[in-house]
């Protein structure tokens, strides 16, 4: 029970983000994920093309 009380006390100290902050941070994560997906696609396509030229 001491542990549970300690957890409750610590949770009272937590500052939660506002809706605006949460949306902004979510959009940053989504944009970064899209950028990395495009980057990995371009790199993968480039490596595949280079290997196909080398192996022909």
Question: What pLDDT was estimated at residue 17?
Answer: 94
Strands (DSSP E) along 1-56, which ranges? none
Question: What pLDDT was estimated at residue 4?
Answer: 94
Distance CA 30, CA 26 (A): 6
Segment 1-56, tens digit of pLDDT:
899 999 999 999 999 999 999 999 999 999 999 999 999 999 999 999 999 999 98
Closest CA to 43 of 53, 55, 33, 51: 51
């Amino acid at each position: 029970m001491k542990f549970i009380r300690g957890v409750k006390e610590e949770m009272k100290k937590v500052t939660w983000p506002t809706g605006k902050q949460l949306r902004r941070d979510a959009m940053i994560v989504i944009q970064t994920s899209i950028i990395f997906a495009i980057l990995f696609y371009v790199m993968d396509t480039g490596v595949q093309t280079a290997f196909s030229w080398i192996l022909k």
